[in-house]
Amino acid sequence: MIARRSIFVPAMLACGFAFLYVPILSMIVYSFNNSRLVTVWDSAHSPTLKWYALLMQNEQIMGAALLSIKVATLNACISVVLGTLAGLVLARFGRFRGRTLLGAMTAAPLVMPEIITGLSMLMLFVAMERLIGWPAGRGITTITIAHVTFSMAYVTVIIQSRLANFDDSLEEAAMDLGARPVTVFRRITLPLIMPAVVSGWLLAFTLSWDDVVISQFVAGPSSTTLPMVIFSKVRLGVSPDINALATIMVLIVATGVVVSALWLRRLERRRWREMQMAVE
Amino acid sequence: MADTYVRMERVSKRFGDSVAVNNVSLDIHKGEIFCLLGGSGCGKTTLLRMLAGFEQPTSGAIYIDGQDLAGIPPYERPVNMMFQSYALFPHMSVHANVSFGLEQEGLARAEIRRRVAEILDIVKLGEYAQRKPHQLSGGQRQRVALARSLVKRPKLLLLDEPLGALDRKLREHTQFELISIQERLGVTCVVVTHDQEEAMTLATRVGVMNRGEIVQVGTPREIYEFPSTRFVADFIGSVNLFAGRLTEDEPDHVRVSCGELPAPVFIDHGMSAPPAADCWVAIRPEKIDLTRTAPAQTDNWAHGVIINIAYLGDMSVYLVRLAGGREVRITQTNRTRKPEEQFKWDESVYLSWDASSPVVGVG
Amino acid sequence: MSTRAPRWGRALVGAVPLGWLLLFFMVPFIIVFGISFSQAQLSIPPYAPLWEWVEGQVLALRLHFANYAFLFTDALYISSYLYSLKVAAVSTVLCLLLGYPMAYGMARAAPATRSLLLMLVILPFWTSFLLRVYAWIGLLKNNGVINNVLMSLGVIHHPIVMMQTDFAVYIGIVYSYLPFMILPLYSNLEKHERTLLEAAADLGARPWKAFVRITLPLSRPGIIAGALLVFIPAVGEYVIPSLLGRTDQLMIGRVLSDEFFENRDWPVASAVAIAMLLLLVVPIVIFQRYQSRTLVHR
């Protein structure tokens, strides 16, 4: 490449990453601060783990966390199924009636403001309850349904772009050998796109785990998710136990991301190599 | 004597521990087409990129028209390159692609338009000026790439595997077009290729490269008929190579005894070599005659059985197994259709060649 | 799985996600649209039905256009819409100015570094969005980290007011949406042929010129995708302005939420939502077109 390298781009990269990470790091640091004021460092009594202890005893937060995990897991599993089906249809089925509609409906949730989605889904649940009696009241069911509706759009994009990179002569070979379409999908396509499916699952999980706005609309009185609890707390100002919670979450996520990135990369590379060798 | 326009003096390029170009010194004359020929990894592309300015030599110097190019970036050199992938700007029309380089020179709009129209005319793409690259065929894209580099009237034009992406018929046609355009404009060219036919057709002179070094420089005829090393003999065209020992070494002739041949090989010119040295003899397939009756000469013949015939339309390739098991390749043009003159499989034949045909060398 | 699959099988596979989305994505919009013509009343649900049987056999449709008229006449709504558009637009531009050089640097890095940088960009995205916005509260407050540091260094003597300002909202949006800007840009820039820039240099263009005339135009699809991915959701943002934004001028997402939860006026809230949707319909359609084109064109 051309030899002259300016300092601008690397500097911007450094600034950008600093911008991204300094807030997170500051949050972590102040979670060990003894002072209730969070950002005023109490050097006499810090660092301390007392906020972490308090956090563990906080039933409201623990209960909400459990609920969020349940909803997020449920959401991820369902979204992955629906999203894979949708991605498959859009990538492989060519032209059919309703294709543009499906394409539009899997693209729109990616940008639709959550406030609109939340409002409209609540209206739907209210109308459905009046009409057919289900869903009765707002709770885990409604939250899950709402989350699935927007998560599956993300999964669809991931699966669709993975399939676009896929050499379909492998599937054709399988069919040539007598495998029916369902078998082809189960034994050829699915294993080879598994890394994308796993990414999709993780993404759907995170989206649900993180969601505030939509949950506020469609959650019921007895079902409060963790983000809802956090949001109502932080509206009133900073709170040190939230810092502690944040640190825990960041650590879990960081470990998860690094581990899964490495594992996925190895899996992906192996699959890709296998596929290349098969096609050559 | 043609004047030297481009001079490379002891140019080397290292990448870490590996040496891509090793101490190359080369003179390129004004107005010629010089081909760097070699297999992959021989360093020819690296050499080309150093001429273009995308790599700097680790040591040595490059001069164009007397100007030392050290440290000069590519956009300030009087050198233009036609890339192997053409590298046409996909979002610009043909006209915009070609005018790009002139715009960088700050020429007046009217002048740019005139020169673009002129060059598009020369490459016969005048009607396609407003098309985008993806709307053109492979051959047309190649001509756009050529026009784009030629329009700047560079002192040196570099071509990286110019004909590689074209199919056979188009390649032949384009080869001659390239030559006629070059003659018309008088541009000095350096072509990099691994395709011998391309090198032989295009080049005024060829430089054969192997492992970062120039092995032989000469006209296509010189390279083909008088390879200086075994490598060049084997690399260019197909050849029958025999190992042998010098039995006679006189100023006007040389006689070599080869284990695989029944008779000695007699060559009608001298060579410089130590007495009774081990050497190699190269005989081109088209220089060998096939006959059904034994030839009159005592040297330069052999005898065997035809084990394979490849009919290529204009000529046929014969594979003959000699008495000792050695297989020799012979090509003959199919001059007549008379059945009695066609050779058949398993026929017993005699091979013979003229004393001026073999090339002998040591090492 | 292609055209050789049996028709009913394919239909079923397509029908499942299509059916779900039709029911849970499309129908809700229709309902919201309907309710926007209704009137608030004390009942469960708190809006008047749109139709009723009159004298047993005639169906009378009651449509109140007053809600929409309300939107146009009340200064609160108009200013909120305009303010939301302005904030979203400014944030998108800032995001682009920061995100483009980053994506460019990532695309040009060596392959091993590239995946590391990619992971570093994605990692904050996986951490809770809410908590990351919260982190900025700690930084921007009057006795927050930034003010503390600046005051202890003696650079300032009174805390700079950064919370509850436009500035805080810009930071919040850029911070949260930066990965959405970087990823499509990166994925576009990464595919650029290296030789194009070499060809430009060979033809006499200095690096900056080559960037402006070759790289920038070719990265246009990435810029558009990134900009839309930031702008459209930013218009309806609720969390960030709630935590960091002004109290005297609300963004439209907050207005909608207030109408719904505080005033219990579902019809007006619906009208606000439909109006927002209409405002955004053009960018949304552009985005959908772009999505279908990039995902099919491999």
| Residue in B closest to A3 by C-alpha | B54
**B89 part of contact set with chain A, CB < 8 Å:** no
CB B165 within 8 A of CB B88: no
Residue-wise pLDDT for C36-70, tens only, equals: 888 877 777 777 777 666 666 677 777 778 888 88
Q: From edge to edge, which strands make up the β-sheet containing B301-311?
A: B288-291, B348-353, B301-311, B315-322, B327-333
Residue recorded with tokens 């299509």 = C18
Tokens linked to A151: 């998560």
Q: Do C198 and A26 touch (CB under 8 A)?
A: no
> Closest by alpha carbon to B159, among B265, B104, B84, B263?
B84
Residue of A nearest to B49 (CA): A1
Q: Which one, of C108, C200, C208, lies nearest residue B52 by Cα? A: C200
- β-strand partners of B332: B316
DSSP line for C176-244: HHHHHHHHHHHHHHTTS-HHHHHHHHHTT--HHHHIIIIIHHHTHHHHHHHHHHHHHHHHT--HHHHHH
- Does C203 touch chain B if contact means CB atoms closer than 8 Å? yes
Report the pLDDT value the prediction gives residue B50, as an integer from 0 to 100: 94
Among B73, B83, B91, select the one facing C199 at the smallest CB separation: B83
- CB interface of A with B, residues 3-32, below 8 Å: 3-4
Higher-confidence residue of A254 and A3: namely A254
Nearest CB partner across the interface for A4, out of C135, C207, C236: C207
- With a cut of 50, say whether residue A75 has pLDDT above it: yes
**Interface with chain B: mutation pick from A1, A2, A5, A6, highest number of B CBs within 10 Å:** A2
Nearest CA in chain B to C201: B75
pLDDT score for A42:
76
Q: What is the pLDDT of residues B66-124, one digit of tens each?
A: 999 998 888 888 999 998 888 889 888 999 999 998 988 888 999 999 999 999 999 99
CATH superfamily of C74-296: MetI-like (1.10.3720.10)
Are the Cβ atoms of C101 and A265 closer than 8 angstroms?
no
Contact B56 A2 (CB under 8 A): no
Domain spans of chain B, in order of start: 4-231, 238-361
User: Which of the other chains make 3 or more beta carbon contacts under 8 angstroms with chain C?
Assistant: A, B
What's the token pair of residue C251? 């963004």
CB distance C193–B81 less than 8 Å? no
Q: Please state whether beta strands C58-61 and C51-54 pair in parallel, antiparallel, or not at all (unpaired).
A: antiparallel
For the cut 90, the answer to whether the pLDDT of residue A167 exceeds it is no
Q: How confident is the model at residue B174 (pLDDT cuts 50, 70, 90)?
A: confident
CB pairs under 8 A between A and C: 288
What class has domain B238-361? mainly beta
Q: Where are chain A's structural domains? A: 62-226
pLDDT at A3 over 60: no
Ramachandran region, residue B305 (left: φ > 0; alpha: ψ -120 to 50; beta: rest) = beta
Q: Chain C residues with CB inside 8 Å of A15's CB?
A: 98
Q: Do C199 and B81 touch (CB under 8 A)?
A: yes
pLDDT digit string, tens, across residues A178-208: 777 888 888 888 888 888 898 899 899 989 9
Task: Identify the band that residue B2 occupies on the pLDDT scale cut at 50, 70 and 90.
Answer: low
Q: List all residues 6 or more positions away from A30 whose beta carbon is below 8 Å from its beta carbon.
A: A38, A39, A41, A240, A243, C138, C145
Quick check: pTM over 0.95? no
Find the residue in C nearest to A145 (Cα).
C24
Interface contact flag, A110 C137, Cβ < 8 Å: no
Q: Which CATH class is domain A62-226?
A: mainly alpha
Lowest pLDDT segment from A86-95, B37-46, B345-354: A86-95
Query: Under a CB-based contact definition with an 8 Å cutoff, are residues B70 and C176 in contact?
Result: no
Tell whether C60 lies on the interface with B, counting CB pairs under 8 A.
Answer: no
Amino acid A279: pLDDT: 60
More confident site: C160 or A6: C160
Residues from chain A that touch C197, judged by Cβ atoms under 8 A, are: 1-2
Closest of B288, B335, B333, B289 to residue B315, by C-alpha: B333
Question: Mapped to the 3 state alphabet, what secondary structure does chain A carry?
Answer: CCCCCCCHHHHHHHHHHHHHHHHHHHHHHHCCCCCCCCCCCCCCCCCCCHHHHHHHHCHHHHHHHHHHHHHHHHHHHHHHHHHHHHHHHHHHCCCCCCHHHHHHHHHHHHHCCHHHHHHHHHHHHHHHHHHHCCCCCCCHHHHHHHHHHHHHHHHHHHHHHHHHCCCCHHHHHHHHCCCCHHHHHHHHHHHHHHHHHHHHHHHHHHHHHHCCHHHHHHCCCCCCCHHHHHHHHHCCCCCHHHHHHHHHHHHHHHHHHHHHHHHHHHHHHHHHHHHHHHHC
Residues of chain A neighbouring B73 (CB-CB closer than 8 A): 2-4
**Tens digits of per-residue pLDDT, B204-240?**
999 999 999 999 999 999 999 888 888 998 888 889 9
Peptide bond before residue A135 is cis, with ω within 30 degrees of 0: yes
pLDDT band at residue B37, thresholds of 50, 70 and 90? very high
More confident residue, A226 or A256: A226
Which DSSP symbol is given to C119? H
Between positions 57 and 96 of B, the ones with CB within 8 A of C are 73-76, 79-81, 83, 85, 87, 89-91
pLDDT of A165 reads: 79
CA angle (A49 as vertex; A46, A51 as ends), nearest 5:
100
Q: How far is A200 from chain C (nearest CA, A)?
A: 13
Q: Which residues of C touch A24 (CB under 8 A)?
A: 124, 127, 132, 135
Instruction: Name the residue among C195, C196, C203 with its Cβ closest to that of B101.
Output: C203
Please tell me which residue of chain A has the smallest CA distance to C226.
Answer: A111
Report percent pLDDT > 90 for chain A. 32
Contact of A155 with C20, CB cutoff 8 Å: no
Contact assignment for B74 to C196 by CB distance below 8 Å: no
Under an 8 A CB cutoff, do B74 and A2 touch? Answer: yes
C281: which 2 tokens? 């319909």
Chain A contact present for B176, CB below 8 A: no
Nearest CA in chain B to C217: B91
- Would you state the CATH architecture of domain B4-231? 3-Layer(aba) Sandwich (3.40)
Which pLDDT score, from 0 to 100, does residue B340 have? 79
Interface contact A212-C120, CB threshold 8 A: no
* Crossing angle of the two packed helices A8-30 and C75-108, in degrees rounded to 10: 120
Contacts of A85 in chain C (CB under 8 A): 13-14, 16-17
Low-confidence ranges of chain C (pLDDT < 50): 1-4, 297-298
Spatial CB neighbours of C1, under 8 Å, sequence gap ≥ 6: A88, A92, A93, A171, A181, A184, A185, A189
Contact C203 B73 (CB under 8 A): no
Cis peptide before C45 (omega within 30 of 0): yes
Give pLDDT tens digits for B122-158: 999 999 999 999 899 988 999 999 999 999 999 999 9
Mark yes or no for CB contact A256/C124 under 8 Å: no
